Amino acid sequence: MIKEINNIKYLSTSEVAKILKISRVAVFQKIKAGLILAEKIGRNYAVKADDITKALQGTLTDNRKKEIDEAVKKVVLEYGKTLRLLGRE
C-alpha cells in the first residue's frame, strides 16, 4: 500500500520487491549498495514512488531480454567465424 507523507508517495521494501520481482533481501542489498534510494522512517526503509523508475532502469524486461538474445544470435550467425578468429588472438 502506497503511503503518502507530506505529499510524497512512499513504498515499503515489500512493495518494491514485488514490483522489481526480487526478494526483500535483494531490495535491502540494493539499498545498501546505493542502487535504490531509500529513506529510513522509524525502523523501516521507505522508497519514494518516483525513485522506483530509477531502480527499474537497471532491470531488464522479458521483452528486452528477448531483443538482446535475438541480436546476439544474429551477430554470431553473421560474424561467428570472425569472432572465433578474434578469440584466438
pLDDT-derived band at 52 (thresholds 50, 70, 90) equals confident
**One domain for residues 40 and 70:** no
pLDDT at 63: 82
Residue 54 contacts residue 19 (beta carbons within 8 Å): no
Q: Quick one: what percent of the chain has pLDDT higher than 70?
A: 81
**One domain for residues 6 and 26:** yes
| pTM of the full structure | 0.56
Mean pLDDT computed over 23-50: 90
Q: What would the grid cell of residue 70 be?
A: 535475438
Q: For the chain, what is the domain count?
A: 2
**One domain for residues 51 and 70:** no
**One domain for residues 39 and 20:** yes
Residue 10 contacts residue 25 (beta carbons within 8 Å): no
pLDDT tens digits for 68-84? 899 999 999 999 888 88
Give the domain CATH number at 50: 1.10.1660.10
**One domain for residues 10 and 48:** yes
**One domain for residues 40 and 80:** no
> What residue numbers bound the domain in which 45 lies?
1-58
Query: Does the pLDDT value for residue 54 go beyond 80?
Result: no
